[in-house]
Structure 1
């Protein structure tokens, strides 16, 4: 019975994240710094998307840029929370192709 338990534990996958990889190589401080850097990257990307989408929507529908950016953020938040990641990925691919095309 002990062999079965050990075999089952060996087949389980460990969750690997940026924080755990940084902790393994750089220690606890490295893990904390990597986490803060990753959160900052996500936050700055979100702000950049909101600002630029606000400018684009301002030119299309003539709403002020802050309102347009907030509208875009609200719509994208609903897309992610209601329809999930597959639909979000499809919309993101379409928007990226449209941006490249223009």
Structure 2
């Protein structure tokens, strides 16, 4: 399993790298909540460095969206990997994801 990380690119953009799966999702959820809680305005997560994902990764993105809404924050995703986009399409959730 590759190491999963969240790295700031600037004040409102973060690079997600590694795998999004059952093992990494709990840690990522905990790391992102404070980012969203202290952000001002829109936050963008760039997923270009995600090496693999499964349905737990999609569930994580949906959870982030729900948390962002609770905090009255806008959240977008950039460079969604094809594997994750396919899972979202099959699950009927592709239109729910705010992609930039």
TM-score where L is the length of structure 1: 0.25
Q: Compare the two structures and name the one with the higher helix fraction.
A: 1
Higher radius of gyration, 1 or 2: 1
Q: Compare the two structures and name the one with the higher strand fraction.
A: 2
Where relative contact order (Cα < 8 A, 6+ residues apart) is larger, the structure is: 2
